[in-house]
Amino acid sequence: MSYDAKFRVWRGDATAGELRDFTVAVNEGEVVLDIIHRLQATQASDLAVRWNCKAGKCGSCSAEINGRPRLLCMTRMSTFTETETITVTPLRAFPVIRDLVTDVSFNYQKAREIPSFAPPKDLAPGEYRMQQVDVQRSQEFRKCIECFLCQDTCHVVRDHEENKESFAGPRFLMRIAELDMHPLDSLDRKRQAQDEHGLGFCNITKCCSDVCPEHIKITDNALIPMKERVADTRYDPLVWLGNKIRRR
Ligand code: SF4
Ligand code: F3S
Ligand code: FES
């Protein structure tokens, strides 16, 4: 069964833009990305949209649908009524390049600022056997497809451009938590998370977890445990004393 849907799509570039109205045909089983492609094919051949896999795995097609950060390829048209107007806009937290395409290089910059896994220098290959429990602790975080929807939705940067400098965002605080949970990592991730990547800005609103297409429990399993680890080292008097003595 086909019907005509009302779409409102943001068109423009870094200098200016506006919402434009379109009426587009929708077929059974389609997702929002199909409709955007039909728009390109029939009415707006220069409409810019980024996508790759159309299977929810490359993380390219991130945008906002009715103001909510979503993957265009994983949002079924059947989730809307046939009469409602569907508004598609670019990610709000990042600068627009053109139409639905944003410059997400903020995220690559943050990724570069996190030192990679650092096992002890004298550890010989095969000397340490990883336990399953240690693998499981961070396995969930590895499902991340780097769509940056969590980064886009977190109010710390969504409404406050000025915080971008000092806040890495949920995706990268989760990366630090993953490294901190690794039994062989030898860097001080807790201090980095708190002092260099703005863990303290996170007030556990969980919006990041709500929009994650991989259903990663970013807040419960990465951010809150990381906050607890920081609190343990900084405010537990016994740990604090131990650190003090060790540093001498
Ligand atoms: Fe996307 Fe989830 Fe990864 Fe954030 S944690 S970038 S929402 S997959
Ligand atoms: Fe932001 Fe997620 Fe924390 S949305 S405030 S990083 S819980
Ligand atoms: Fe790859 Fe949507 S096109 S996640």
ipTM: 0.99
Q: What is the average pLDDT across 66-72?
A: 98
Close Cβ partners of 128 (under 8 Å, ≥ 6 residues apart)? 183, 184
State if residue 214 touches ligand 1 by the CB under 6 angstroms criterion.
Answer: yes
List, for residues 36-56, the tens digit of each pLDDT value: 999 999 999 999 999 999 999
Q: Ligand 1, atom 1: nearest CA belongs to which residue?
A: 147
Ligand nearest to the CA of 61: 3
Ligand nearest to the CA of 151: 1
Is the minimum distance from the CB of 219 to ligand 2 under 6 angstroms? yes
Please write the tens of the pLDDT for every residue from 149-204. 999 999 999 989 999 999 999 999 999 999 999 999 999 999 999 999 999 999 99
User: What is the sign, positive or negative, of the torsion defined by CA atoms of 138, 140, 143, 148?
Assistant: negative
Average pLDDT over residues 69-90: 98
CA of 178 to the centre of ligand 1 (A): 14
The reply to whether the predicted model has a pTM over 0.90 is yes
110 contacts 93 by C-beta, under 8 angstroms: no
